[in-house]
């Protein structure tokens, strides 16, 4: 049981490792990003982690969450200070920016996501406004009210339609998720009898959070620090959306029909589960978003996918991602898990994407067998 609690401190350790690289400067600035390639290889070599965690104390399980969430903005400030003090230049500056952005994605998204899904006001506030690290302090609005309701449908900007590449999905998702959160908040204000852009709108608070953070960065590291921090945040903002691409890619659901465990992809690599606080083991999370991360049960009946790190790297080359990774998985999903209505939607998307019609192939193969 102790190891179950201890393993989730790995993510905080990665943040400390990245901070060390930033403070050392030079080529060490790439240290944080190097973990992406390391995990992509190692997680694929290790057997899948299908174990259920033996954790019962919510307070102990919350400690690494809080450490990672609080450390996220601090790491960006370390980046700003290191840049202002000449710790790196040229390509090493790029390495520092990308490494910090990578930590904002792999460490901060899962920990803040876990906090703002909790019922208490404090974790919700901290999880929400700590999202300054990727310029999206209203993200939880669209996520909880939009994504969890519309997952797998065309209304969900986090669910990529078949044939979409990572390069077309990501910028569109940035815009659509931002507009969605704003619209949901305006609708809520209107229902309460206020104007759609009343001063209570969370977008204003999000902007204020950014101004406060960049004021701190300026006080600590001047305009060099502000520019470097902002560069990292912009990269992280794009990267955050790109990882949604792998959680639901191509899976379809009939609008209004219940969300089932089959409507997500689960990435159950040993390090994937630990580093991301089970955010990739999230079939149960879409059935009940209040279940804490350590109580999520791996779906052993689901289609097995490569680890999310490897998925990201292969998606940088769309033909590799489509033909070698996701198309075979979607074919299996369509033929084994999709309902009759979902198969119609899936077939239409396949044809629109120019993909093979494996429904027709399957029917052709079954007919001789039935005749025999």
Domain range for 241: 2-371
- pLDDT at residue 367 in the model: 45
Burial 295-320 (b: 16+ CB within 10 A, else e): bbebbeebbebbbbbbbbbbbeeeee
- pLDDT at residue 132 in the model: 93
Residue 220 · residue 77 · CB < 8 Å: yes
- pLDDT at residue 156 in the model: 87
Q: What pLDDT band is residue 143 in, cutting at 50, 70 and 90?
A: confident
Residue 217 · residue 229 · CB < 8 Å: yes
The DSSP symbol for 306 reads -
- pLDDT at residue 10 in the model: 95
pLDDT at 2 over 80: no
Tens digit of pLDDT for each residue in 256-295? 898 888 998 988 999 999 999 988 887 788 877 788 989 9
Q: How many domains does the chain have?
A: 1
Tokens representing residue 150 in the block:
């519309």
Tokens representing residue 240 in the block:
């955050």
For residues 308 and 71, what is the distance between their CA atoms, to the nearest angstrom?
Answer: 23
Degrees, nearest 5: CA angle 307-309-310: 70
Tens digit of pLDDT for each residue in 23-33? 999 999 999 99
Question: How far is the CA of 201 from the CAs of 122, 128, 367, in angstroms?
Answer: 19, 14, 59
Tens digit of pLDDT for each residue in 185-229? 999 999 999 999 999 999 999 999 999 999 999 999 999 999 999
For residues 155 and 147, what is the distance between their CA atoms, to the nearest angstrom?
Answer: 9
Q: Roughly how many angstroms between the first and final C-alpha of the chain, as a whole number?
A: 55
Q: In the Cβ-directed half-sphere of 119, how many Cα atoms lie within 13 Å?
A: 5
For residues 227 and 217, what is the distance between their CA atoms, to the nearest angstrom?
Answer: 9
Q: What pLDDT band is residue 140 in, cutting at 50, 70 and 90?
A: confident
Query: Which whole number is the average pLDDT over 111-125?
Result: 86
162: left (phi over 0), alpha (psi -120 to 50) or beta: beta
Task: Give me the chain's average pLDDT, please.
Answer: 91
pLDDT at 370 over 50: no
Tokens representing residue 265 in the block:
């992809």
Q: Which residue has the tokens 């990245």?
A: 18
Share of the chain above pLDDT 70, in %: 97
- Cβ neighbours of residue 52 closer than 8 Å, sequence gap 6 or more: 297, 298
In 95-184 the beta strands, taken as DSSP E runs, fall at: none
pTM to 2 decimals? 0.92
Tens digit of pLDDT for each residue in 28-80? 999 999 999 999 999 999 999 999 999 999 999 999 999 999 999 999 999 99
Query: Which whole number is the average pLDDT over 96-110?
Result: 94
Query: Which whole number is the average pLDDT over 242-268?
Result: 90
For residues 365 and 25, what is the distance between their CA atoms, to the nearest angstrom?
Answer: 60
Least confident of 79-83, 88-92, 326-330: 88-92
Q: What pLDDT band is residue 335 in, cutting at 50, 70 and 90?
A: very high
Q: What pLDDT band is residue 239 in, cutting at 50, 70 and 90?
A: very high
- pLDDT at residue 371 in the model: 38
- pLDDT at residue 362 in the model: 66
């Amino acid at each position: 049981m102790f190891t179950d609690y201890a393993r989730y401190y790995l993510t905080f350790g990665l943040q400390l490792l990245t901070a060390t690289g930033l403070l050392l400067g030079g080529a060490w600035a790439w240290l944080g990003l190097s973990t992406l390639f390391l995990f992509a290889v190692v997680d694929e070599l290790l057997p899948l982690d299908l174990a259920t965690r033996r954790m019962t104390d919510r307070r102990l399980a919350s400690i690494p969450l809080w450490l990672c969430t609080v450390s996220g903005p601090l790491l960006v400030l370390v980046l700003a200070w290191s840049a202002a003090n000449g710790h790196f230049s040229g390509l090493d500056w790029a390495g520092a920016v990308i490494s910090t952005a990578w930590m904002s994605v792999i460490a901060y998204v899962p920990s803040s996501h876990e906090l703002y899904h909790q019922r208490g006001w404090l974790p919700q506030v901290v999880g929400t406004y700590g999202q300054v690290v990727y310029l999206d302090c209203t993200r939880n609005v669209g996520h909880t009210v939009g994504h969890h309701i519309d997952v797998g449908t065309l209304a969900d900007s986090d669910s990529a339609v078949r044939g979409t590449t990572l390069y077309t999905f990501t910028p569109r998702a940035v815009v659509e998720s931002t507009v969605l959160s704003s619209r949901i908040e305006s609708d809520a204000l209107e229902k309460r009898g206020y104007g759609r852009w009343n001063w209570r709108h969370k977008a204003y608070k999000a902007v204020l959070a950014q101004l406060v953070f960049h004021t701190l960065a300026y006080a600590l590291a001047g305009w060099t620090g502000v520019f470097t921090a902002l560069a990292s945040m912009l990269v992280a903002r794009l990267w955050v959306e790109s990882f949604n691409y792998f959680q639901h890619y191509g899976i379809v659901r009939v609008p209004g029909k219940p969300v089932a465990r089959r409507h997500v992809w689960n990435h159950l690599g040993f390090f994937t589960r630990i580093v991301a606080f089970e955010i990739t083991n999230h079939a149960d999370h879409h059935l009940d978003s209040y279940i804490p991360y350590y109580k999520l049960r791996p779906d052993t009946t689901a289609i097995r996918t490569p680890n999310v790190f490897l998925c990201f790297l292969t998606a940088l080359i769309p033909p590799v991602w489509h033909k070698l990774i996701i198309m075979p998985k979607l074919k299996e999903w369509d033929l084994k898990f999709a309902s009759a209505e979902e198969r119609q939607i899936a077939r239409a998307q396949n044809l629109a994407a120019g993909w093979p019609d494996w429904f027709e192939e399957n029917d052709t193969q079954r007919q001789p067998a039935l005749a025999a």
